[in-house]
Structure 1
Amino acid sequence: MSVSPGKFLRDVRAEAERVTWPTRRATLITTGAVLAMAGMASVFFFVVDQLIGLGVRQLFGLGG
């Protein structure tokens, strides 16, 4: 089955016109939420890492 490049591009354009694109506001809100969640996750894992490190140092008597 062979499809010409012209028909393919027309089909792609037609499909892209049917897509419901998010508004600028929705994109900014979603981006902010993703950045906030990434920040909170990084703080959480930093704190957990510090607590585990403290526990290991206490357990094995390492460090000052």
Structure 2
Amino acid sequence: MAKAKTPGGRRPGSPQPAPAATVAAEPPAAKARISPMQFASQVRAEGRKIVWPSRKETWITSVMVFIMVALAAAFFWIVDTILSFLSQLVLGLGA
């Protein structure tokens, strides 16, 4: 027979959590519209903050990506070969 649940799913004698304070939701503030010139100026300012990788960093990253792709390809080829062998073994048992 299943036990009856206590109200709220709590065990008797366990401490009750404090009620959460309610916070009145404020309506979202309307964003001020900016002129196209200000927008272009902000875009240029953000563009100046970009740090481009050096040629060496780009080369190292590209080589690492190539190595990871080769490892992933080898892994999936091995798994595919094993699964193919096992499926042929299982399907060949019925013949």
TM tier, shorter chain?
0.7 to 0.9
Matched, 1:17 2:35: no
Structure 1 residue ranges (4+ consecutive) displaced by more than 6 angstroms after TM superposition? none
Q: Among 11, 22, 33, which residue is 1:2 paired with?
A: 33
Taking structure 2 as the reference length, the TM-score comes to: 0.59
Indicate the percent of aligned positions where both proteins have the same amino acid.
Answer: 35
How many positions carry a matched residue from both structures?
A: 62
For residues 77 and 36 of structure 2, the distance between their equivalents in structure 1, rounded to whole angstroms, comes to: 51
Whichever residue aligns with residue 49 of structure 1, its letter is D
Partner-residue secondary structure (3-state), 1:11: helix
**1:29-55, CA deviations, whole angstroms, 9 ceiling, x for partnerless residues?**
101111210111011101101110101
Higher relative CO (CA 8 A, sep ≥ 6), structure 1 or 2? 1
Task: Please name the residue that 1:28 is paired with.
Answer: 59
Structure 2: where are the runs of 5+ without partners?
Answer: 1-31
Larger radius of gyration: 2
- 1:26 deviates by 0.1
- Decide which structure has greater helix share: 1
Structure 1 residue identity aligned to 2:86: G
Q: How far apart in 2 are the matches of 1:3 and 1:15?
A: 16
Q: Which residue of 2 aligns with 1:59?
A: 90
Counterpart amino acid of residue 22 in structure 1: P
Q: Any stretches of 5+ residues in structure 1 without a counterpart?
A: none
